């Protein structure tokens, strides 16, 4: 199991709308073409309309690295920067969980 949480803080409302559209274009490729991506959940933050949080769980580090090499993900990584005021990435360790496949706890 390999998991991470990413927080994106966006420049302004226009940037937030454009970022959300970019995520909407990227998500189908992740869902349909990445069997090693077990969970890819994107969220807004209550009370902070310019923040987004992604929770990502991969079968293993190799699945994460394969995710990063996908054309739809490379396009996302290239385009997202123009919308961001800051980014914070936290890699997670195993812990008790519900809802994740056996062997994928984090």
26: in domain: yes
Is 90 exceeded by the pLDDT of residue 102?
no
Is 90 exceeded by the pLDDT of residue 60?
yes
**Tell me, what DSSP letter sits at residue 99?**
S
97: in domain: no
75: in domain: yes
pLDDT given at position 106:
42
Give residue for tokens 């190799």: 62
Q: What tens digit of pLDDT does each residue of 66-101 get?
A: 999 999 999 999 999 999 999 999 999 988 888 887
67: in domain: yes
pLDDT given at position 97:
86
Write out the E strands in 18-104.
Answer: 37-45, 48-58, 84-92
99: in domain: no
Instruction: Give the span between the Cα atoms of 90 and 97, in whole angstroms.
Output: 18
pLDDT given at position 96:
87
102: in domain: no
Q: Which domain holds residue 10?
A: 2-92
29: in domain: yes
Q: How many domains does the chain have?
A: 1
CATH number at residue 42: 3.30.70.100
């Amino acid at each position: 199991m390999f998991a991470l949480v990413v927080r994106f803080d966006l420049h302004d409302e226009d940037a937030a709308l454009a970022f959300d559209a970019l995520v909407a274009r990227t998500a189908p490729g992740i869902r349909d073409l990445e069997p090693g991506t077990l969970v890819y959940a994107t969220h807004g933050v209550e009370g902070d309309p310019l923040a987004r949080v992604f929770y990502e769980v991969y079968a293993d580090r190799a699945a994460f690295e394969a995710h990063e090499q996908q054309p739809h993900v490379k396009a996302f990584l290239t385009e997202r920067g123009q919308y961001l005021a800051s980014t914070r990435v936290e890699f997670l360790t195993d812990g008790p969980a519900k809802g994740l496949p056996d062997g994928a706890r984090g």
